[in-house]
Amino acid sequence: MQTLKLDAADTELIHAAEETLRRNYHPIKHSVGCAVRCSSGKIYTGVNIESCGYGPCAEPIAIGAAITAGERRISAIVAVHKRGHEDFSVLSPCGNCRQLIIDYAPDAHVIFMLDYHVVKATARHLLPGAYLSNWDSQY
């Protein structure tokens, strides 16, 4: 898989996800924060929501916040979790979130962990053989 070099905008996005989690952290209910940057340059954030039966990941919450605000093009996304008292770490998106990101932002850069390094790649490269919904063309 071809990965791309992180830049200052990526670092800003990671910090936005960390700050969202810092403000909302709960060891059981809210343990992952996410930030998405849209083509407008605006950043939207979200945290995971835990429940007894099902709780959505942070990525769909952040994507939903962007869409609710009228955004239609997501250019980058990252999720983080808390590893210690004040230590945060970038997470790789789960399979469901990879499909969601491909549905809504197939050309977005996804910042994730690969072999213990923070890297980024285009969303469509993170899920080989993905089901393609063509939802992106409706925006």
Q: Which residues participate in catalysis according to the annotation?
A: 59
Q: What CATH code is carried by the domain that includes residue 43?
A: 3.40.140.10
What is the C-alpha separation between 58 and 136, in angstroms, rounded? 20
* Host domain of residue 55: 8-138
Predicted TM-score (pTM) of the model is 0.90
The number of domains in the chain is 1
* 1, part of any domain: no
Strands 32-38 and 74-82: antiparallel
Mean pLDDT of 22-39: 94
Strands 74-82 and 88-91: antiparallel
Mean pLDDT of 104-127: 95
Alpha helices in 25-115 (DSSP H): 58-68, 95-104
* 2, part of any domain: no
* 46, part of any domain: yes
Residue 94 in contact with residue 69, Cβ under 8 Å? no
Query: What are the tens digits of pLDDT across the range 99-113?
Result: 999 999 999 999 999
Residue 38 in contact with residue 64, Cβ under 8 Å? no
Residue 44 scores a pLDDT above 60: yes
* 30, part of any domain: yes
